[in-house]
Structure formats: C-alpha cells, structure tokens
Structure 1
Amino acid sequence: MMSTEQELRAFGRLISAISGGHVMSREEAFDAYRQVILNLQPELQQGAFLSAHFMRKPSIEELSGAWDAIDTYDTAKVTAKIDGPVCDIVGTGSDPLKTLNCSSPAALIVAACGLPVAKKGARLVTGVSGASDIFESLGVDLDAPLACAERSLNEAGICYLPGEAFLQSGWARLIASMRFTTAFNILGPLTRPCGENNCTVIGAYAPEVSDTMIRILLEVGIESALSPYGMVDGKDPKEGIDEFSPCGPTRVVELRDGKIEEYHLTPEDFGVKPCRFEAIASGMSARENADSVLEVLEGNYDSSAADFFCMNASAALYCAGVAGDYRQGTAMAREALATGKASRKLEELIEYQGSAASTSVCS
C-alpha cells in the first residue's frame, strides 16, 4: 500500500537532507530502508534515495539500520538446531581478478571437518559463475524449498541457501530494476538467512570494503568474522581477489570478542607453497569451474586449486575456533579431502537439496 501524501513528502524531505549531508540515525535508516523494501514509496523516490545515500557515503550506523530492515522485512529464515558454532563462507564478488569458485568447495571441506555450514550465495555478480551457478552444476536444485536446506543443515551439517530463495520480494524487485551501485551491494553478502549463524568468512572486492563489512557485523551481533582481500605477486595490489590468496599476501580484518584487528598473511602461514595466478584462474564457464571443483573433491588433492580451497576452509575453521591457527586448519582441510569426507559431504547435500529432494526427503 502506497504511503499517504504526508509520508511521501516526509520521504522527499529526507532525500533532500541526505543530499545536503544529513547522516541518519540507525533507527531513521531502518525506517527509510523499510519503506524502500516494502515498496511504500514511488520508484522515483526509491531510486533517488538509494543513489543519494550511497553517493553521500553511508555511515556504519546507517548501514546497520539498513541491515536491520533487510533482516526484518526481506530475509526468510532457516533454523539450526545445533549446539556450537554455525559458519558461513561467502564473497562479495566484483573483485578485479576472477578465480575458480572457492567458497563453495571450501564450505564442503569445512562441513567435512565437523563444522556446520549454512552457506549462502547467489548467481554470478561478475565473472563466469557465482555460488548458485556452481552448486546448480553440481546437482543442487536452486528451486528446492528452504525446508530442504534446513533439514540438510540439521542432519548433514551443511546447506546451501540461494539468495534467490531466501531474499523475498523487496530485494528481488530492486535488484531486477537497478543498474547502479547502492548500499545493497555491501549488505547483500551480510544477510543472515540462518539466525544461528554466529561466525563468517566474507571476502571483499577491495580493502576498504573489508573494514566496512566487519564493522557492520560487529554492530549486528556476529561473534567472530574474517574478511580477506587477497593479492597476487607481480600485479597491482588494487587488482585482487575476494578470497585468501595462494598467489601473494592477503590483508585480513578480523572480528573476535568484540575487537577488530587487521593483519597480513602469506601462503606460507597456511603451510601452502605459493602458486601462479593462472593455476587458480576462472575457467570459461560455470560447468568448467564446477568440473575443477569436482576434480579436487574426487582426488586431485596435490594441486594449486586444492591448496586454494583448503586455505579458505582453514580460515573458517580458525574463525569458529575449531582450528587453533591457519596452519592447523589447512592440515584439517587436507585430511577431509584425502579421506573422501568432503566428496561425501557433497553427496549428502544433493541428497537433501537435489532435484528429487522436494518430493521425497522434504515432503
């Protein structure tokens, strides 16, 4: 239902104020984004607000209020009936250098190490394939009910949550019509479709984005988080990847116990031999990238791609406190691959979220 004339004018005044430099409180931002998400303002006013707010550079308090609105009004939820940590591994996309999809196989490896993973993702943002494209190629039905994902999480220790499934009408409507950057580009990877998710590894397409996302996660109550921005030796540091890099240093912003710190890591910190970027570069199609994932899961353990996946799995294990440090986490990830546990975890995921699941397991 459209707002009253008084509400329309009030929103218009807010747009003008933001354009002039006004900074909203968290509550004010929550209400403004609520009106956008619920389509309570004309599209012209919605677009003007989103553009003005992003161009003025949103504050952490404002972005936290916007996150509150997305979480309250537009995020369908699954429930983890699990004691202990529940992790998520995701990247922002939009990174300058395009790699093999890493967070998807890393999630399978992490789950094989015994850490439950509620992994979210979406179709490609930039490049060849996003997590949804990869999991679909591997046999996951993106149209399966969220009930299937919830059961998979609770019984198999892993689920895949496509943004197409858990983000409801507001997000879908806005993303379909926008062709410009807004706060949603930052907030999308921070959504929490599993309310029990309390630790996350979230790669960033630029160093400053890591700082912003971690500060928002602190505000919204995440207990521990890591945000890597990976670099490649021999390339401009501004051209990086939204993962821990086996090709050069990685800048990490870490949230733990309410405190934020920044540091740098090298592949050697994970017990990994550095590799050339070409060894982990994206293929030409989602199917090709999915096949690269399968090759590692099915036995190609001594490869740069396997190192890449294990490094990022290690980060999740460290973030959740399952591994004491990155080197130990990498060793655990390698064992999960070598014993076939990670490959079996994919089989379990497909059992619950494959094409047959909605008519059998989740009926």
Structure 2
Amino acid sequence: MSKETQLREFGRLICEVGAGKFMSREESCAAYRQVILSEQPELQQGAFLMAHITRGPSVQELSGAWDAMDRYDTAKIRTSMDGPVCDIVGTGSDSLKTVNCSTPAFFIASACGLSIAKKGARLVTGVSGASDILEILGVDLDMPLSQAEKCLRKYSICYLPGEAFLKSGWARLIKSMRFTSVFNIIGPLSRPCTQTNCMVIGAYAPVVCDQLVEVLREIGMGAALAPFGMVHGAEVTRGMDEFSPAGPTRTVELRNAKIETYEVTPEDFGLKTVDFSRIASAKTAMENAQRILCVLQGEYDRPEADFFCMNAAAALYIADFAKSYAQGLEMAKKALATGKAYEKVEQLLEFQGRG
C-alpha cells in the first residue's frame, strides 16, 4: 500500500468513526497500531483520537486498542511470585479531584502481604499523577524495568511508570495531549507485569467502569474492581476514580468471569462518611506528596488515612486476602499503625530510588 493510500484510508476511517461507525476488534487494533507507531501524521492521530472518544468506544474497540498497545508498545517484566499479584490504578480525568490515593494505597496493601506491581503516569488533567508523587518521594522514573522486577521479587512491591514501559506510543501521546482519549482508558489496563491477575481500576464515569471490566474479562484478567466514588450532595455524574469516604461508591466487580454491579458505602468498610473537602487535592503535587508522606510515616489519624486504607482494603478484598471490605480496612489500618507501610516506601527506594 502506498503512503498516500494509507493516509487516505485512515482519513476515511476518521470520518466514518466521527459519523458513528463502529470498528471490529481487529479494525480497532489496526487503527491504534498506526497511532502507536506514529504511522500517521500527528494531525490525523489527534483527529482520530478525538473522533473516537467523542463518539464513544465499544468494548470490542477498546479490546482492539488494548491488543495494539500490548503487542506494539508494552515492555514486560516476568516473575513467578507466590500468590496473586495485584495492581491499583485509576484512569484519571475524574471531575472530583482528590489527593492521590492509589499511590499510598499500594504501599499499604503491600505491607499487608499482597504483591503489588503498580502502574502509573504523570498528571493528565489533575494536579499530580502517581509518577509525579513518587518522583517527589525519591523514585527514579528513568530506572530500568529490570530494577522494578528485582524489587518485586525481593519485596513484593514495584512501580512501573508508563513513561518506562510504554515508551514509543502511549507515553509520547499522553505527554503531548491535554484531553481525554481512549489511551486514558486502556493505559490503566496495560499489563507490563505478566503475572498481574487482579486489579483495582477506578474510572472517571460509570459507563467507563463497565467497559473497563468487560475489557478485562475479554483479555483474561482473573478478578477486578472498578469503582466510581460519589459525594453526598454532589451531582451523581460527578465523581472520583477511587472508593469514596464522602458518599457511596458504584462498584463493578469481576470474579471468575462473572460481573456484578453494586454500591458500597463508607459504613461497609466500618467508617463514617466524611466531607469531601477532607480528601480534596491540594494545589500542588508537593503538597499532595507531603500529605501522603505524613500518613505513611505514622499520622494515621489524619482524614486522608481512612481514604487511603479504604482503597488498600479493596485490593486486599479482590485478591482474596480479606473476606470483606471491613476486614481489609482493619488489615490496612494495622499496616499503617505498625509502620510497615512506610517500610514499603523504603524498600521501593532501595531498588528504584535515585540513590
């Protein structure tokens, strides 16, 4: 196929998607391959991404985009850990901006004995992404993935920055874009640790939670939770990509290839509902990082602590380390109180720190 023909066919696809046509999984994979490998001009890449997210992607299209990302853009680490390996991540782009939660939650859950290979990235629409926070805490985002693999093997914890394992396509696009695209949805679905078999993956909208879990089932994930946290008094369309201590959380659960949707409340974790202002994001990444560090270093009576423990508890529950959300919360609180959660920060920095 000539270059001009390739350009024209992709241009035609942009128009068709914008007009409402749905692609098959294979067609979506082929289209996203061209975006990931930059086989199309940036103008056509951006037009396609905007047309697709505006029309709304189907599960088959998301699965095809994930196929392209996994085949052409995802570097892998391979381990043989005993027991499950979990990931805690969110899509970002949520309307209620909270202090970073999945970052401290992965330290807390790992301190409870669960192996965690967490993915993350820099900010897209908020104040700080996981990579921004961990960089402030001392993580070297340019460290080879082999160091993350060693850390996971020794300490059952590692951080996998999207900037490191998705270098050629996703990282380039996320760095240059300031609008939500399918990459915000499939990026958190990436599996750079081949042993990851369970996941907590928050999303910015209920329909996206549904799609994420359906895609995870399509690609063979064993178990997953997709929360959309809400706030009492706020519009139901506004929410956070975390379990919420400020209102109910709509939750989609995948287990044994079956999907169930339900609501959980802070009371289901054994907590009282709090005002959203107690967990709202600060104005800078440095302030958010300091709040996280205070909790991990022992100030577990701060309002953010229960927020972090709720989301660690969710990971413990979906990995079958806890029989209920409430039991998971008690385990998480104990990990904070004994100092084991901060020990995980030190262990991570031993292999992935700036030295």
Q: Is the shorter-chain TM-score for this pair beyond 0.5, marking a shared fold?
A: yes
CA contact (8 A) 2:155 2:347 kept: yes
Aligned equivalents of 1:346 and 1:14: distance in 2?
Answer: 47
CA contact (8 A) 2:231 2:244 kept: yes
Are positions 1:225 and 2:227 aligned together?
no
* Structure 1 residue 346: Cα displacement: 0.8
* Structure 1 residue 227: Cα displacement: 0.8
* Structure 1 residue 106: Cα displacement: 0.5
Q: Would the alpha carbon gap of residues 17 and 127 (structure 1) be closer, same or farther in structure 2, given more than 3 Å must change?
A: closer
CA contact (8 A) 1:299 1:338 kept: yes
Q: Equivalent residues in 2 for 1:216-255 (5 A)?
A: 216-255=215-254
- The secondary structure found in structure 2 opposite 1:169 is coil
Aligned equivalents of 1:3 and 1:254: distance in 2?
Answer: 46
CA contact (8 A) 1:122 1:132 kept: yes
CA contact (8 A) 2:170 2:187 kept: no
Are positions 1:154 and 2:173 aligned together?
no
* Structure 1 residue 13: Cα displacement: 3.6
Q: Would the alpha carbon gap of residues 248 and 73 (structure 1) be closer, same or farther in structure 2, given more than 3 Å must change?
A: same
1:94 corresponds in structure 2 to 93
- The secondary structure found in structure 2 opposite 1:41 is coil
- The secondary structure found in structure 1 opposite 2:127 is coil
* Structure 1 residue 250: Cα displacement: 0.8
* Structure 1 residue 179: Cα displacement: 4.4
2:40 corresponds in structure 1 to 41
1:31 corresponds in structure 2 to 30
Amino acid in structure 1 at the alignment position of 2:97: K
1:275 corresponds in structure 2 to 274
Aligned equivalents of 1:255 and 1:276: distance in 2?
Answer: 30
1:350 corresponds in structure 2 to 349
CA contact (8 A) 2:92 2:184 kept: no
CA contact (8 A) 1:139 1:354 kept: yes
* Structure 1 residue 211: Cα displacement: 1.0
Q: Equivalent residues in 2 for 1:6-25 (5 A)?
A: 6-25=5-24
Q: Would the alpha carbon gap of residues 105 and 215 (structure 1) be closer, same or farther in structure 2, given more than 3 Å must change?
A: same
1:361 corresponds in structure 2 to none
Aligned equivalents of 1:218 and 1:9: distance in 2?
Answer: 35
Aligned equivalents of 1:60 and 1:250: distance in 2?
Answer: 23
Cα RMSD of the aligned pairs, angstroms, is 1.7
CA contact (8 A) 2:152 2:158 kept: yes
Are positions 1:193 and 2:192 aligned together?
yes
Aligned equivalents of 2:272 and 2:178: distance in 1?
Answer: 41
- The secondary structure found in structure 1 opposite 2:104 is helix
* Structure 1 residue 7: Cα displacement: 3.3
Number of residue pairs the alignment of both structures matches: 355
1:359 corresponds in structure 2 to none
1:65 corresponds in structure 2 to 64
1:360 corresponds in structure 2 to none
Aligned equivalents of 1:175 and 1:126: distance in 2?
Answer: 11
- The secondary structure found in structure 1 opposite 2:169 is helix
Aligned equivalents of 2:169 and 2:9: distance in 1?
Answer: 21
Q: Would the alpha carbon gap of residues 273 and 21 (structure 1) be closer, same or farther in structure 2, given more than 3 Å must change?
A: closer
CA contact (8 A) 1:166 1:193 kept: yes
Tell me which moved more, 37-46 or 284-293.
37-46
2:327 corresponds in structure 1 to 328
Aligned equivalents of 1:316 and 1:137: distance in 2?
Answer: 24
Q: Would the alpha carbon gap of residues 102 and 7 (structure 1) be closer, same or farther in structure 2, given more than 3 Å must change?
A: same
2:104 corresponds in structure 1 to 105
* TM-superposition CA deviations, 1:146-170 (whole Å, max 9, x none): 1111111111111111111111212
Aligned equivalents of 1:182 and 1:3: distance in 2?
Answer: 28
Amino acid in structure 2 at the alignment position of 1:138: L
* Structure 1 residue 177: Cα displacement: 4.0
* Structure 1 residue 301: Cα displacement: 1.9
